Amino acid sequence: MSILETPRLYFRGQISWDPVTTNNFPPKAQMAGYNEATTDSTLNASPITADQVAAYRKAAIDEVNAGWNPDGTYRSKFFETQVNGVDVGAGLDTRDPVVTAPVGFQGMLIDAEPYGAYTSQLFFDEMSFGIPGGCRIVGKRARRFDDRNINFQANPSNAFIAGSASVTWQTVFPKRGHLIVEDQDSPLLQAFNAALSSDDVLGLMVRWNAYRTVYYNDPDLPGGGSAEQGAALQKKLQEGGFQPNPARSLVVGALGLWRRGDCATEPGERTLVSLPVTIDTGPAKGARVGTAFMKLNADADPPNLTLDFQNTIPCADQQTEKADLGTLSVIAADPPPAVAMVEFAQIPYERYNRAAYEATGGLIKIDLPDLLPGAEDMVFSIKAQGDGPTYLDEVRYRALPDEPNVYANESEARQLRVQVYDRGRPAGAGLTVTWSPLQDAGSTDTTHWSATTDATGAVYLHVDTSKAQIYAYVFQVGDSPVLPVVNGAPTGSSLGFNPMVNPYAYIRVLPQDADIAAMEPSWENVYGHVLANFNAIAPCMDNWLRLDDEQQVRAYAPLVKRLTDPAAFEEFRYMPPTRDLTPGARTLLYNWLDGAGDGATAKSRAGLQPASATSGAQEVLDAGAASRAHRSGPA
């Protein structure tokens, strides 16, 4: 199951992050802000107009110390990233021919909820391991990467902006969806190809962790930032041109099999959730152990316990040495109400220190030649030895949405499937799933809904699209949910939301903007009500088209229409990268691009489309699940 069984591949390197930050601030928070409900760029809290674009840009530059990247490209790219090991079942192997092959990835970093920290996505087309002519893998995504399990206490000594955080990214490459595995003389790739011939294997899964994020290319920036760095960036921005200011993170990851029943979008194996234990001494003081995942591979020879510690052990310094928590004990207990507990395995520091972490993509395999009978049914936890704290406790049931971030249009009928996992496998019928909106801190609103799982262990919920908004549902399994779930410290009986603990989905409902659709399709209207908005957020929404140039936009009408087509929503080059083009804005744009002279007539031609782009991606994913075909060897 997943990357927690063999065969698998490990990689490590770095990634750059170049998001535009001007849409990160609500109206009134900054002069150059963004209204994420209405999708309007705002200048001093009012929607931007065509003649205010320059003023917006100036304000964004003046406020650069808060925003750090008003001139980004959204692009995120792996660099210095290579395959650094494989495991076909006999442990780490660094001699496979695919080892040292470059790993290629480029995506657009977009937050579904621009203000928040829990909805980052990487829209991309392909990911590659190796180069043409060598042993290599090329996978086309079915769906973007979604980030999950962000741990804001992963590296307290790297505190600038989000430098202290680490986060997990996952997606899958269906074998029907243009998955190329050219194995040549690579035992690993040969093993992948052999496994892919099984009906039970749907494709390949990749999961990686980003950590130790550095801004301004300066790992020594203090937590409060640097006026000097900000001033230098401002100076560049004032010169004009194209002035990105990307951050960068370290990356470790693993590529393995995606089996039927595996969650495609986030880790769905047996889950050891992070407990609220803060390390109170030593160089990692203030850090918290992050959620881990595990699998007992009882059928392997020898049987083994494989742990996903990609996002688990915090760093003790900026050089990313891991916090030394001593030898950790894996404790197994009989299911309640029994209380018998045994030390199932030990994890010495050498197995989770920096060198081990980098060598095996954060995964730890512990051979268990004498696996206890019935171990699969036991409940696991991980603790320090002796009287030390328990860091991680297994949670049996997890309700994970098929789509971690949902885009919908106002008034559109929209459904979200949520799969319950029972110790890492799809659950059966009869479990109660409760979902409730993520409430503001201090709220006492206990609004919630419940449903019972069907035979596949799934429930389906109708997404509220009654108005334009962005909101989150938090999922709980069982008959005693804790409500409300609040974003912040809990008070009274509420539950404090933590992305490492509580499964969730964000829903972004775009306004229809019917009034914009009905406008006369003139350049003034198109720029003033559609393109100026994106021109303000980032002067170069993509780096080829000047959005304020009527002739240029018109000259590239076919390309603009192709890139803004809802069917292209998952693509790397979809426009706008922010995925917030409303149906009404699209209609007005198309009416103008089509050369319509009359707004009302043209409106009926373009139509207000229920453009739920993610549903298209789901269809691809489903098609991949039903497929058995895959490509191998030279075309």
Partner 1 sequence: MVQLMWKRPEGVEDVHALVQTAINLEFSTLPPYLYALMSIPPGENLEARQRIYAIAMEEMIHMCLACNIMNAIGGSPDIAAPRYPGPLPGDVAQGLIIHLYPFSPAAAEQGMHIEQPEDPINASVMKAAMDRAGTEPVTIGEFYERLKVVLSQLPASAWSADRNQIDDSQFFQGNLFKVNTYADAAQAIDNIVSEGEGTPQTPGENGSPLDFQNEMAHYYRFKEIFLNKVLTRTGQPGGGYQWGPQTLGIDWTKVYPAITDPEQHDFSNEPAAAREAQAECDAAYAAMIAGLRGAFNGDPGQLGVAVRAMFDLRMAARKAFTTPLNDGRVAGPAFVVPGPYWKASNETRTSGEVA
> Does residue 248 bind partner 1 (CB under 8 A)?
yes
Least distance (Å) from partner 1 to the CB of residue 600? 34
Residue 499 interacting with partner 1 (CB under 8 A): no
Q: Which of 355, 352, 347, 354 is nearest to 363 (CA)?
A: 352
Burial category of 634 from C-beta neighbours within 10 Å (exposed 0-12, middle 13-18, buried 19 and up): exposed
**Structural tokens at position 81:** 């990233």
Minimum CB distance to partner 1 smaller for 460 or for 544: 544
Candidate ranges 93-101, 197-205, 299-307, 413-421; the one touching partner 1 (CB under 8 A): 93-101
Exactly one of 28, 91, 94, 100 binds partner 1 (CB under 8 A); which one?
Answer: 100
Backbone angles phi, psi at 151, to 5 degrees: -115, 105
The burial class, CB within 10 Å (0-12 / 13-18 / 19+), for 232 is: middle
Closer by beta carbon to partner 1, 100 or else 346: 100
CB of 617 to partner 1, least distance (A): 22
**Residue 224 Cβ, how far from partner 1 at the closest point, in Å?**
20
Helix (H) or strand (E) holding 524: helix 523-526
241 lies in the site for partner 1, by CB under 8 A: yes
98 vs 420, which CB is nearer to partner 1? 98
Does position 236 interact with partner 1 (CB under 8 A)? The reply is: yes
Q: Single out the residue of 365, 424, 410 nearest to residue 517, CA to CA.
A: 410
Q: Is 388 helix (H, G, I), strand (E, B) or coil?
A: coil
Q: Residue 326's CB: how many other CB atoms inside 10 A?
A: 12
| 156 near partner 1 (CB under 8 A) | no
Percent helix, strand, coil in the chain (nearest 5)? Answer: 20, 35, 45
- Which one, 555 or 600, has the nearer CB to partner 1? 555
Q: Does 476 bind partner 1 (CB under 8 A)?
A: no
Task: Please report whether residue 16 would count as binding partner 1 according to CB under 8 A.
Answer: yes
Q: Give one DSSP letter per residue of 571-597, joined into a string.
A: STT-SSTT----HHHHHHHHHHHTT-S
> The tokens of 22 are what?
């001007």
- Out of 246, 261, 481, 566, the only residue in the binding site for partner 1 (CB under 8 A) is 246
> Is residue 148 close enough to count as binding partner 1 by CB under 8 A?
no
Per-residue contact flags (x/-) with partner 1 for residues 560 to 599, judged by CB under 8 A: ----------------------------------------
Q: Which is nearer to partner 1, 18 or 111 (CB)?
A: 18
Residue 106 interacting with partner 1 (CB under 8 A): no
Which residue from 314, 286, 367 is spatially nearest to 87, judged by alpha carbons? 367
Report the residue number, 243 or 502, with the smaller CB distance to partner 1. Answer: 243
Task: Choose which of 51, 90, 132, 340 interacts with partner 1 (CB under 8 A).
Answer: 132
Is residue 95 close enough to count as binding partner 1 by CB under 8 A?
no
The residue (of 208 and 397) whose beta carbon lies closer to partner 1 is 208
Q: Does 479 bind partner 1 (CB under 8 A)?
A: no
List, in sequence order, every beta strand (DSSP E) within 133-246.
Answer: 136-140, 145-151, 166-174, 180-182, 201-214
Tokens 């999708």: give the residue.
Answer: 39
3-class DSSP state for residue 202?
Answer: strand
Closest distance of CB 234 from partner 1, Å: 10
Q: Does 547 bind partner 1 (CB under 8 A)?
A: no
| Distance from C-alpha of 163 to C-alpha of 150, rounded to nearest angstrom | 12
Number of residues this chain uses to bind partner 1 (CB under 8 A) = 43
Q: Per CB under 8 A, does 244 bind partner 1? A: yes
Q: Is 623 helix (H, G, I), strand (E, B) or coil?
A: helix
Among 26, 47, 116, 134, which residue interacts with partner 1 (rule: CB under 8 A)?
A: 134
Shortest Cβ 133–partner 1 spacing (Å): 4
- Interaction of residue 217 with partner 1, rule CB under 8 A: yes
User: Does 227 help bind partner 1 (rule: CB under 8 A)?
Assistant: no
Q: How many residues does the chain have?
A: 635
Identify which range of 242-250, 330-338, 392-400, 438-446 contacts partner 1 by CB under 8 A: 242-250
Q: Write down the least CB distance from residue 212 to partner 1, Å.
A: 15
Smallest separation (angstroms) from partner 1 to the CB of 9: 15
Q: Using alpha carbons only, give the angle 39, 45, 48 rounded to the nearest 5 degrees.
A: 55
14 lines the binding site for partner 1 (CB under 8 A):
yes
Smallest gap from Cβ 245 to partner 1, in A, equals 7
Q: Which stretch binds partner 1 (CB under 8 A): 4-12, 22-30, 77-85, 364-372?
A: 77-85
- For 469, the 3-state DSSP assignment is strand
Task: Examine residue 133 and tell whether it contacts partner 1 (CB under 8 A).
Answer: yes
Q: Which of 49, 65, 82, 390 binds partner 1 (CB under 8 A)?
A: 82
Cα dihedral sign, 114-117-119-122: positive
Helix axis angle for 227-238 and 53-62, nearest 10°, is 150
Contacts 24+ apart (CB under 8 A), 525-532: 525/588, 525/592, 526/553, 526/588, 526/589, 526/592, 527/50, 528/49, 528/50, 529/585, 529/588, 530/581, 530/585, 530/588, 530/589, 531/589, 532/41, 532/48, 532/49, 532/50, 532/52, 532/53
Binder to partner 1 among 346, 452, 543, 601 (CB under 8 A)?
Answer: 543
CB of 384 to partner 1, least distance (A): 38
Provide Rg for the chain, Cα atoms: 25
Tokens of 533: 């908005």
Establish if 559 lies at the interface with partner 1 (CB under 8 A): yes
CB nearer to partner 1: pick between 129 and 497: 129
> Does residue 70 interact with partner 1 by CB under 8 A?
no
Listed in sequence order, the residues at least 6 apart from 269 whose beta carbon sits closer than 8 Å to its beta carbon are 1, 2, 4, 293, 294, 295, 308, 424
| Residue of the chain from 184, 456, 522, 609 that contacts partner 1 (CB under 8 A) | 184
Q: How far is C-alpha 150 from the geometric centre of its chain's CA atoms?
A: 9
Summarize as ranges the residues that interact with partner 1 (CB under 8 A). 14, 16, 71, 77, 79-80, 82, 97, 100-102, 131-135, 184-185, 216-217, 235-246, 248, 540, 543-546, 552, 555, 559, 634-635
